[in-house]
Amino acid sequence: MARATRIRCFVAVDIDAPDVVSRIRALQEDLLRTEARVKLVEPQNLHITLAFIGEVPPVLVERAKDALSRIHYKSFTIKLEGMGAFPSLMRPRVIWIGVHEGAALLTDLASLVRRELKRAGVPFDPKDFVPHLTLARVKGSNPTLTAWLRRLEAVEAGEITVDKVKLKKSRLTHHGPIYETLYEKPLE
């Protein structure tokens, strides 16, 4: 018997302001010069995940859309600033830019999204929300990468207006993930 169709999805804020994407691309190109082995996040895939749902059946995707439709939140501005790495600068696996101004509002929005998903019975990764934008995944580090990260700890990538929340489908391929917006909830 064939396995029921499941859809890999998450709730996110897209980073698509052209000036911000351009600055991020410049940082990514600079990162490549460290000669660390990294997989960059493609410009069209830049986003801040508010809740990772994972692979769920279509009925839960519909519930997630319904949950997002109930969200009422005012739009706001965030400032992307400060380079960092998970789990640490000395052992980087994920390279990110932090959210400076607007981080508390973004955290509040993520809490609201998660609360509505829970009310709708939609499971999601319960890890604490840490406001960040992933730039790259590290496949192999070197001392140059750690020095690069330290040098850019205060870098500014720009401001974006958070004016919508999206339910995104993620299809994994050999060339990287392909995202598709399944539902978009405008903020007020």
Q: Which residues are catalytic?
A: 47, 132
- Percent helix, strand, coil in the chain, to 5, is 30, 40, 30
CA-nearest of 17, 96, 65 to 168 is 65
- Other beta carbons within 10 angstroms of residue 74's beta carbon come to 10
C-alpha to C-alpha distance for 75 and 149, rounded to whole angstroms: 31
Show the CA angle centred on residue 70, arms to residues 104 and 7, nearest 5°.
90
* Residue 146: alpha-carbon gap to chain centroid: 22
